[in-house]
Structure 1
């Protein structure tokens, strides 16, 4: 692995598909989404980025952070799969109790 890089071959990022069918990435002007379902044009899932202009938008994300906050350079939004909402809530609750 090269110095200053993280991850290799997308293996770590692909784990987000355990909890989200469509993860979004907003970074330096890029607005993309990945989809668990195969792309209709190329029949590949997980690895084909898709440019997005619809929700969520950076304005939507700014509302979450608040009007006084400067947004981070990179934001990852993970809409949870329905069956993952409760387990994720439980895990996050147990983390906050430890600190």
Structure 2
């Protein structure tokens, strides 16, 4: 795993935590707290983070060395964009 791939994964996990804190704070303020908040993030780890880790582990199989890396970055940027949009919509609501 290259350095930038690690930074991308840290950005995804960091934005996940920020999104969780904003959503948790928002649910406490509006008194709509449910356990579904935590379960959604467990689902997101399974759907977003685990595939990124799986792609990074497949790097040794890639004969060109850059196809899976480009795919990893595209997926990582898509997940980062997803969480940025989610944070801003929760913040504005």
What range is the shorter-chain TM-score in?
Answer: under 0.3
Query: Which is richer in strand?
Result: 1
Relative contact order higher in (CA < 8 Å, ≥ 6 apart): 2
- Say which structure is richer in helix: 2
Please report the TM-score for the alignment, with normalisation by the length of structure 2.
Answer: 0.25
